[in-house]
């Protein structure tokens, strides 16, 4: 299931098709911009090598699926499904971020549409959850365009930049879901 997803403008590549140099340049260029969203950011090329190795392992195990969005030869976004759970739940969390210079161009909406389709049809998920900080209106619009519905508000949800941040909780379910005959 290791594949490249194509949209109108993007090639969404799995970690197996991304080089350490590409990932390092992306994070180096966007370090200050990405800090506001939280998470552990790779700093050195060695960190990027470890990150890609870990993501490749998660992909093989079916526990997470990260994609890197390329506009031509430029890495401009990353998006992924994490915390993939099967059994009684068949769900995952969707997370994403865009290169600062490429925000507001509809690229994330394009990428998210492709990854949601991948999640429902290739990974056979029933539910995708995505959470965003209330002041991140652009992220909320991306999810709204895809049909995500607000399910709640979580005060002090994630520790970002040393402070607990509130989040709006959303989800999207696939109404035509059928249990896969074999594990993806």
Give the domain ranges of the chain: 5-173
pLDDT tens, residue by residue, 82-129? 999 998 899 999 999 888 888 889 999 999 999 999 999 999 999 999
Distance CA(143)–CA(138), nearest Å, equals: 9
Rg of the chain (C-alpha set)? 16
Q: How many CA atoms lie within 13 A of 110 on its CB side?
A: 21
pTM score, two decimals? Answer: 0.91
pLDDT tens, residue by residue, 59-88? 999 999 999 999 999 999 999 999 999 988
> What is the architecture, at CATH level 2, of domain 5-173?
3-Layer(aba) Sandwich (3.40)
């Amino acid at each position: 299931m290791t594949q490249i997803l194509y949209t109108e403008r993007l090639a969404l590549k799995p970690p197996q098709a991304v080089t350490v140099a590409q990932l390092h340049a992306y994070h180096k260029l966007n370090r200050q911009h990405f800090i506001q969203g939280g998470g552990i950011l790779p700093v050195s090329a060695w960190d990027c090598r470890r990150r890609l190795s870990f993501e490749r392992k998660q992909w093989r195990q079916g526990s997470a699926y990260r994609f890197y969005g390329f506009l031509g030869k430029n890495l401009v976004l990353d998006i992924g499904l994490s915390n993939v759970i099967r059994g009684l739940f068949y769900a995952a969390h969707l997370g994403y971020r865009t290169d600062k210079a490429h925000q507001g161009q509809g690229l994330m909406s394009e990428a998210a549409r492709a990854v949601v389709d991948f999640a429902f049809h290739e990974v056979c998920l029933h539910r995708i959850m995505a959470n965003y900080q209330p002041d991140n209106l652009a992220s909320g619009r991306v999810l709204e365009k895809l049909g995500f519905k607000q399910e709640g508000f979580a005060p002090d949800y994630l520790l970002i930049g040393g402070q607990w941040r509130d989040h709006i909780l959303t989800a999207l379910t696939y109404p035509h879901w059928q249990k896969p005959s074999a594990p993806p």
